[in-house]
A and B are shown apart, each in its own frame.
Chain A
Amino acid sequence: MSQEAQPLVPSLVAILRKELRETLRDRRALWMVGLFVVLYPLLMAASLHKMIEREVRAEREENRVMVIGAAAVPNLVRQIEDAGIRVDAMNALDEAGIAALLARREHTALIRVPGGFAERFAALRAAPLELWQDSSSVQAAKLRRVEAVLRGYGNDIAQARLLAHGVALGVARPIELRQYDTASRASRSGKLLAAIFGVFFVATFYFCMNLAIDSTAGERERRSLELLLAQPVPPAAVIGGKWLAAALLCSVGLTLELLLGHALLSIMPLEEIGLSWRVTLPALLGVLVTAIPLCLFAAAAEIALVMNSRSFKEAQTAVGFVLLLPLLPVLIVPMLELDTAMWMYAVPVLAEQTLLLELARGHALPASAFVSTAGVSLLAAAVALGVAIRRLRSERFVLGI
């Protein structure tokens, strides 16, 4: 048996180097990695930029309301104007006219004073006041300011009347509600950032896809796999070399993607929309190191799957299905609005996402979260590798090459 002993590492390294060299010369594969490095960070930056711009514009933009029958409510008009809201007046408008006016988006809302308002008001009976809005186009912040003015107007009248009847103000206002918000900016950012980061880690499965397919199904299609298997190389070295090449490319892609995302978040004026990005570079590197096992898993899973395909095309179809799987936890969990729990660190992709999310929220994480995240991916990678090596040894596989 001594003749049989063949060191695993040199042939594994030879295969690894050859696969990387081939991929580095494959312009299409490199474009694909490059695309996914910039795709999600740029999408994220574009959507955040849009939100920031909208917020800033809303602050600067004039808040206008249209009042029909303004003559009946001079005090209200003054109070609205005092709140910095411009008032336009009109005599009459039917419902269709109101809808058309609001659809032009020049006015936040329309206040109509119905006939008989003055009489009911004078008789100390509840006087009707109509507030029209187009909820499909109106900006919530602007509308809230209009509503606040209307509420304040009603309260002021009530207090004045009570005072006139000799009733102490405290009788009508048994409690005075004071509201406080303890959420820090970072924790409020959580939900939005969670959706963003999940997608960052999904890209992991795209980074290694081309190499995984080209080095297995592609090698079968070119009819070079039989010869490779006829070399004095153990199956573990064949699978191992291709796997590590794919995982290495994947790690480089993920590193570049996260660094780009970090740089963009760091320079964007997130405070304008009440968000903040407080993950430091060392913490980010910690996440990266913890996410490397995800690269190992993605590469192993894809190789175990696509090695069964006879051509590049067939492999792409097969892998397309698998690419959906990492999306599931990432899309579904934020929708369920679950609290962060330890089990999340045991689901690949979701674990990495949760890790980065908790750091972004400014929470301190237990070491077990990191260990679980890396450990589960490593374990899954080992299982996928075992399956792939067994498959390579099987007679059915050899007959099909």
Chain B
Amino acid sequence: MIQVHDLHKRFGAVRALDGARFRAEDGRITALLGPNGAGKTTALRILFGLLPRDAGTVDIDGIDPGTTPLAARRRLGILTDQVGLYERLSTREHLAYFGELHGMDRRAIAKATDEVVDLLGMADIIDRRASGFSQGQRLKVALARALLHRPRNLLLDEPTRGLDIMSTRALRRALCALRERGCCILMATHVMQEVNQLADEVIVIAQGRTLLQAAPQVLRERTGADDLEDAFVQLIGSEQGVAA
């Protein structure tokens, strides 16, 4: 479970986060919505202990990444918006590398590799080197390496960017399976269709502040819009109008 309360972060004169608060429960997929520059990436980087926060509290299964970043990271599976792979390593070598970085031994890595290969259906690329992989194959490798150490919490930054329909469906199936297992999944995204189909909760942030955290239908009801996208635009638009 991930809880963020009254999170503040500024870079010089820019307030990237200005009192954001949200909560992502176990066994649920929580979508983090917001326009570009809303503070999503900054919030995620504070969650994995890469950036220090100015004020507020962060709690990942009772651990504060501000004071014990390594312990927090062990409980996180991370998929960043850029899928950086090592072109000269095979999928299996990628997984072994990240398993070792998480302190797993060889046998545990082999077992976990078999599991994620089953879950994501990637037996065909497990011993191929990454150069020449399609976007979908790259994403599978990135997701597999995020899942290898069986994290309780998953942080995904725009996971379906650049994916074709088949890969998107495969990813969706995998996320649903992980939710069944009780994973806490926090997903920053711009794709409303994804939110519609997957999300149990929606967090809308803009200008570093949380505008709303609720189930998708609550968001629609609150804004009076039928469509989630309209609801989002209405929420953001009005708020930004006030701020301006």
Give A residues with C-beta under 8 Å from B: 1, 3-4, 6-7, 10-11, 14-15, 18, 21-22, 25-26, 219, 222-234, 395, 398-399
Contact = CB atoms under 8 A, between A and B. Distances in A.
B224 interface: no
8 contacts: A4-B71, A6-B103, A10-B103, A223-B80, A224-B85, A226-B50, A230-B73, A233-B101
A4 B51 contact: no
B80 A233 contact: no
Contacts of A18: 86, 89, 93, 97
Interface residues of B, number: 34
Contacts of A230: 48-50, 73, 76, 78, 80
A225 B70 contact: no
B35 interface: no
A10 B85 contact: no
Among B11, B48, B70, the most chain A Cβ lie within 10 Å of the Cβ of: B70
Interface in B119-145: 142
Nearest to A241: B101
Contacts of A22: 86, 88-89
Contacts, number: 86
B45 A223 contact: no
A224 B86 contact: yes
A228 B145 CA distance: 11
A234 B49 CA distance: 11
Contacts of A7: 103
A377 B103 CA distance: 33
Contact of A229 (B50, B67, B83, B85): B50
A233 B70 contact: yes
A81 B110 CA distance: 89
B82 A11 contact: no
B230 interface: no
Interface string B87-117: 1110001000110111100000000000000
A71 B102 CA distance: 98
A224 B80 CA distance: 9
B74 interface: yes
A227 B68 contact: no
